Structure 1
Amino acid sequence: MRNNCWSDPALLAARVLIAGLFLGGAVQKLVSPADVQALLALRGLPVALIWPAFLFNLVAGLLLVTGVRVRSTSLLLAAYCGGTSFFHLIPADPWQMSIFVKNWAISGGCLALAVAGSGRWALRPDIRNQASL
């Protein structure tokens, strides 16, 4: 992958696009917490869990954008998406089922980013093992 002139810009684009989902989720939780709190309540969880989720979304999104700790952040985000997908497992609601499936797709993107690392266009490039990609 190091020989491709497009790999570093592509990794930057991947980081920014995936981060956009999490940064948007942080904004949504901050601006309209009732929607997420309703999903938490539906599963019998404390609605106050929205705030650690907000913080995680915000910090993880910023880490991806800046290219800091991309591999570990991406692994955590993949697990987060897999876990939070079950909040949307409502078979009677096609919209929620769409979100359920999209969360698994996002997990896949995060796993790919965890393998690829940050690329060179990052505040803290993670270029180890990229020569073999």
Structure 2
Amino acid sequence: MEKLNPFVSLVARILLSIMFVMAGYGKIGGYEGTQGYMEAMGVPGSLLPLVILLELGGGIALIVGFQTRIVAFLLAGFTFLAALLFHLQPDDQMQMIMFMKNVAVTGGLLLLVAHGAGALSIDGKLKASRS
């Protein structure tokens, strides 16, 4: 299989990460509202700090390519679970679009699990230094 251009991998990581970084940051500013929404959907609001940590910290980790496979795996599980809990509403077209967006993002994250971050990453630099 032909190797992807390292810049393509970098851009893909950044594009996948933007959503998580912005969402995590936004949840800090709208903490009470987000916590209330979670609880209204049957999810304990006490989990919000972990959600923020995963979205913000995980998003940044993906951008720089640090522990990419692990972080992408965790974000993929989180994203798919969020799709099921918050967006699987077949009678609401907008929610179903959000559901499918989350499913697609989960697929992109699973590609990172399978292929790693690429050469332009902390993971790539660590791998090269071991060789």
Shift of residue 49, structure 1, vs aligned partner:
1.7
Q: 2:53 aligns with which of 55, 59, 79?
A: 55
Residues matched between the structures, number = 125
Shift of residue 127, structure 1, vs aligned partner:
5.7
Deviates more, 1:50-59 or 1:117-126: 117-126
Shift of residue 115, structure 1, vs aligned partner:
1.4
Q: How does 1:13-24 map to 2 (within 5 A)?
A: 13-24=11-22
**Equivalent in the alignment of 2:115:** 116
Deviates more, 1:76-85 or 1:38-47: 38-47
Q: 1:11 aligns with which of 5, 9, 12?
A: 9
List alignment gaps of at least 5 residues for structure 2: none
Tell me if structure 1 keeps the 8 A contact 2:54–2:75: no
Q: Aligned letter for 2:67?
A: R
Shift of residue 108, structure 1, vs aligned partner:
0.1
**Equivalent in the alignment of 1:101:** 100
Shift of residue 90, structure 1, vs aligned partner:
2.4
Between Structure 1 and Structure 2, which shows a larger proportion of helix residues?
2
TM-score, normalising length: structure 1: 0.83
Q: Aligned letter for 1:98?
A: I
For 1:68, what is the secondary structure of its paired residue? coil
List alignment gaps of at least 5 residues for structure 1: 129-133
For 2:120, what is the secondary structure of its paired residue? coil
**Equivalent in the alignment of 2:90:** 91
Tell me if structure 1 keeps the 8 A contact 2:80–2:106: yes
**Equivalent in the alignment of 1:73:** 71
Over residues 76-130 of structure 1, what are the superposed CA-to-partner deviations in whole Å (9 max), with x where a residue is unaligned?
A: 11111111112112233322221111111000000111112111101231769xx
For 1:124, what is the secondary structure of its paired residue? helix
TM-score, normalising length: structure 2: 0.84
Shift of residue 35, structure 1, vs aligned partner:
4.6
Q: Aligned letter for 1:69?
A: Q
